[in-house]
Amino acid sequence: MLDWAELECGYYQGDTKPSSQCLKLADARLLKSHPFYDERGTFEVLWDASLFRRFGFNFNPASSAFSYNEKENTLRGMHYQRPPYCQAKLVTCIRGSVIDVIVDLRPHSPSYMRWAATELTASSALSILIPKGFAHGFLTLTDHATMAYLIEGEYQPSAAGVIRWNDPAFGINWPALNPILAQRDRLAEDFVP
């Protein structure tokens, strides 16, 4: 088990400071926020650029997005951007739950063509910082699952790529055999290095 690295910052109260854990893929991180609770509800910091920069996270989001998914067993992925338009992402589940999967597509990486899966839920306070050069996808475990994204790098339609969700080159162990897929994802081809 990897140790959590505690991030220090003056304005977080009590144990509300976020923390970080390395995933089994090079440069990918699992971030855990520690929400502040009181009688009004919850306050949670998803991203604090100055704090995280002090600890080596060089991530500068240019846009944000939401993905609302009507049905359980919906699979989106595996999507990526080709160089030189690769995008880094910070993803979190803000409603329901998903299995979030990332695949390292960087040819010179020690974790090239390996994958990692993490369950994200609205109550887990977990986010994944996905480096540039990775493919990303997720499978919804509940109806109405909603994902939030912070995205570094501009989307370039001509650089958008998709690999088949069950491509045998990766052997991703999805907990679904017949997911709901968009046509683009259903027609995706196997990855060609």
Catalytic-labelled residue, pool 136, 144, 149, 155: 149
CB atoms within 10 A of CB 24: 11
Catalytic-labelled residue, pool 79, 85, 108, 144: 79
Does the annotation count 136 as an active-site position? no
Q: How far apart are CA 91 and CA 41, in angstroms?
A: 22
Mean pLDDT of the chain: 88
Does the annotation count 149 as an active-site position? yes
Residue with tokens 């996905």: 130
Give yes or no for residue 12 having a pLDDT over 60.
Answer: no
Please report whether residue 34 resides in a domain: yes
Share of the chain above pLDDT 70, in %: 90
Q: 155-179: per-residue pLDDT in tens?
A: 999 999 999 999 999 999 999 989 9
pLDDT at 43: 80
CATH number, residue 89: 2.60.120.10
Please report whether residue 191 resides in a domain: no
Buried/exposed code over 135-156 (b: 16+ C-beta within 10 A; e: otherwise): bbbbbbbbeebbbbbbbbbeee
The number of domains in the chain is 1
Q: What are phi and psi of 183, to 5 degrees?
A: -55, -40
Residue 131's pLDDT band (cuts 50, 70, 90):
very high
Q: Following DSSP, what letter does each residue of 79-131 receive, concatenated?
A: EEE-TTS--EEEEEEEESEEEEEEEE--TTSTTTT-EEEEEEETTT-EEEEEP
pTM, to two decimals: 0.88
**Across residues 29-54, what is the average pLDDT?**
81
Q: 83-109: per-residue pLDDT in tens?
A: 999 999 999 999 999 999 999 999 999
Please report whether residue 40 resides in a domain: yes
**Across residues 39-68, what is the average pLDDT?**
84
Residue 77's pLDDT band (cuts 50, 70, 90):
very high
Please report whether residue 94 resides in a domain: yes
Instruction: State which residues form the domain around 79.
Output: 5-186
